[in-house]
A and B are shown apart, each in its own frame.
Chain A
């Protein structure tokens, strides 16, 4: 059931284009939204038991021989994420049907979007680390497709690649860390690893493991200095940004850290690394946010801030901090998704993303303005919204931190002030004040686009006014999952007059001041912006990419000289040297020289093959060469048939026939048969040929006696019919016993076909454009 729920996104995504085609854009997207809605209901059914402290684990064997399980684990943490992913996903699907209305590739968009949702669900629910990794990389892949959805624009493509390179590279580091964890703990299941927290922390490789895991988490969750890909991913259509950057993709890293906290967290190394990186990212994100004027960029940088905050809270790791992280996680998902969707509405209805060109939009779109105001207040942390609760708890957590309390509190207050300014910039500025002429005459958005921001806004107020609701359902269980033990949670909106409240008031006042002077602040910071653009980490990324390309060109020039004969020589000589080396050093040459039992017709076939091969090297006619090559092939096929391998024989015959057909096609294109090789070259080739042939002969003569491993062929022979119900063992091996290998092989085959297609098509395009070749 759980497995079906997780991968349903891929399956429904697969038919999405037809749904859109037959039901139309609006009704089709509503029909597709039923999937995330149903998933939400399904996950919601776990809430009462999980809130009561229970967890659930569902296992489907995947490749049990490799300890590879499709195991899923439901606790507070994974359930919170699953609910956010499916719940917000519902609104995104509905919204996109309207935002991308009449887009010719809306169907394709839903394939990516639902696939992404499925990957995300798999990631947060996975218990087996390999399952986790596979879904982790699937989110990178599907988000690459989503970010590069407008693939006809070069900028879109480049930035999609950037997001993928950064996150996939981090994912590989994470894989190494995960495997080390599995080796240390002796299990592939996260729930079992986290149940014994001291095993990992006490291990000699603890620091390396933690660093590797954190590289993965930091790259995915855009911690400085890897934060640059996130704002760049704003190239995506707005529904994608709303989804990826509110509750899903970018939170995957935070999820990973939260999940690992019981096993890896709590050490000084963990606390200092996460607090510092998180705290700096928090401040930097929002500091960069107020320098932007494009509404989506402002929101993107404020997302960087949110991710930094969560990282910092997980780093601090006290009960209070973990509860604050749980609350912040929910609050941020609500208001950030709403704000992104509203940014999309503004762009869609007023035709601009530039905040300086907006104003007074509340007159023409009052409902949007109301939803924006609610989300904005939550973002700024103004009571009675849920965001206020989150901010109060954040400040209390930094004040109570075991290490670096003063630094973190200062960063938090600074970020708090800036975030108030950000709220003003994205809400007050566009919707209030004097009316500004926009490119399109603004009007209220359709219901499909409003429902998301409105419902999310209601959640923001509802949880703020009734914090007990959040506490009893998700927050407690989430914090407990992060802590690895039950946590005592009581949420109040009003914490009384304390230091945190005072700091909060100071932050709000400073934020309002900053917002009122936004234009001047921005002008002051121009220099900083220019500096970070030319020397920041992103400039490093582009330079690194250039270097990579340069190295690739350089090594291609050296290795790929374009002469078939040199490729062949390299390949066969490598084989010869390695084989001979192994023969001399590893085995005592013991030749099986008895040639009894050889039939006369077998010798005849061998003779024919040899003669044809010799003639092939001799002839001056291309057609004769093709024909004698054919004779060699058919001779080999006959040998297969004689030694009772009819399948191989048939395949060989067919391949030979096809080769001849293909050669005939190519034959017309080749120049006249020319004698290009000098005698010296011919001698060299003869020598290499004899060497290869000799080595193989020697190898075959020896191989009969050497046996390193027990042969497994008897297993196939014995079980082919009883288990696999087939009498043709070759076929049974191909499609059943070794089906996974065959699957890999046909993918390679398909790639080869597409490769040939691309090469020839690109070349003829070059020619028609008058290109160099």
Chain B
């Protein structure tokens, strides 16, 4: 695929950290306000998809660092394991566990198994979309 325009490339470079931060923000606030792993994963995927358009597949793969298919696997594993934790504590599978902690500056972080689960969802969504986008884009080249 040919490279995008200068404007697109510059924009993508600046948008990338913004979108990724935003996606993490959406991921963490999801339990109380609109957001969550699915939405956050889509936002992150958007950031990388934009990068594919602005630059090319190898560059995107490089900044992604991990193979999206691996991300898929890790996401599923984390999501499944978050349900097993309660079983190890003698409670039914997927009973949520809570360990809220106070972070300086940022306030309270509700560390919990639903959060781990949501992180799993996030990785699966990001992994799936990026697998599809990168595969399609590579087929294009």
Give the interface of A toward B (CB within 8 A).
3-4, 7, 60-64, 70, 646-647, 650-651, 654-655, 657-658, 661-662, 664-666, 668-669, 724-728, 730-732, 734-736, 739-740, 742-743, 746-747, 749-750, 752-754, 756-757, 760-761, 763-764
Contacts and interface: CB of A to CB of B under 8 A. Distances in A.
Nearest to A646: B34
Nearest to B93: A62
Contacts of B66: none
Contacts of B39: 647, 650-651, 654
Contacts of A647: 34-36, 39
Contacts of A753: 68-69, 72, 127-129, 131-132
B140 A651 contact: no
B93 A735 contact: no
Given A651-B42, A658-B129, A760-B139, A735 B34 contact: no
Given A658-B46, A728-B30, A750-B76, A735 B114 contact: yes
B20 interface: no
A651 B87 CA distance: 32
Contact of A654 (B42, B69, B91, B127): B42
Interface size class of B (residues with CB under 8 A): 35 or more
24 contacts: A3-B87, A3-B88, A7-B84, A60-B91, A61-B90, A63-B92, A650-B39, A654-B46, A724-B96, A725-B110, A728-B35, A732-B31, A735-B37, A735-B114, A735-B121, A739-B83, A742-B79, A743-B80, A749-B124, A753-B69, A753-B129, A756-B135, A760-B139, A761-B135
A665 B136 contact: yes
Contacts, number: 161
A662 B136 contact: yes
A60 B90 contact: yes
A666 B128 contact: no
Nearest to B96: A736
Contacts of A669: 139-140
A666 B43 CA distance: 21
A726 B132 contact: no
Given A661-B49, A728-B33, 15 more contacts: A3-B88, A61-B92, A650-B39, A662-B132, A665-B133, A668-B140, A732-B114, A736-B114, A740-B83, A743-B80, A746-B125, A749-B125, A750-B73, A750-B127, A753-B132
Contacts of A736: 94, 96, 114, 117
B118 interface: yes
Looking at B49, B127, B135, B140, the one whose CB has the most chain A CB atoms below 10 A away is B135
Nearest to A14: B77
Contacts of B96: 724-725, 736
A734 B36 contact: yes
A657 B87 CA distance: 39
Nearest to B68: A753
A650 B36 CA distance: 11
A664 B1 CA distance: 12
A752 B73 CA distance: 13
Contacts of A742: 79, 117, 121
A334 B120 CA distance: 44
Nearest to B90: A60
Contacts of B35: 647, 650, 728, 731
Contact of B121 (A654, A726, A746, A761): A746
A61 B32 CA distance: 29
Contact of A750 (B72, B115, B137): B72
Nearest to B82: A739
B69 A731 contact: no
B45 interface: yes
Contacts of A756: 131-132, 135-136
A117 B118 CA distance: 31
A710 to B, nearest CB: 24
B131 A651 contact: no
A763 B84 CA distance: 39
Nearest to B115: A735
A658 B45 contact: yes
A754 B69 contact: yes
A241 B140 CA distance: 47
The 8 A-B residue pairs with the shortest CB-CB distance, nearest first, are: A753-B128, A654-B42, A726-B31, A646-B34, A731-B36, A735-B114, A727-B32, A753-B131
Interface in B85-141: 87-88, 90-94, 96, 98, 110, 112, 114-115, 117-118, 120-121, 124-125, 127-129, 131-133, 135-137, 139-140
Given A654-B46, A658-B45, A750-B76, A757 B135 contact: yes
B75 A746 contact: yes
B93 A665 contact: no
Contacts of B117: 735-736, 739, 742-743
Contacts of A754: 69, 72, 131
A724 B114 contact: yes
Given A725-B31, A726-B31, A754-B72, A60 B135 contact: no
Contact of B135 (A3, A732, A760): A760
B55 interface: no
A686 to B, nearest CB: 32
Contacts of A3: 87-88
Looking at A735, A747, A754, A763, the one whose CB has the most chain B CB atoms below 10 A away is A735
A666 B132 CA distance: 11
A544 B79 CA distance: 39
A752 B128 contact: yes
Contacts of B49: 658, 661
Contact of A739 (B75, B94, B129): B94
B137 A665 contact: yes
B63 to A, nearest CB: 17
Contacts of A646: 34
Contacts of A761: 135
A764 B114 contact: no
A685 B137 CA distance: 32
Nearest to A1: B90
A654 B132 CA distance: 16
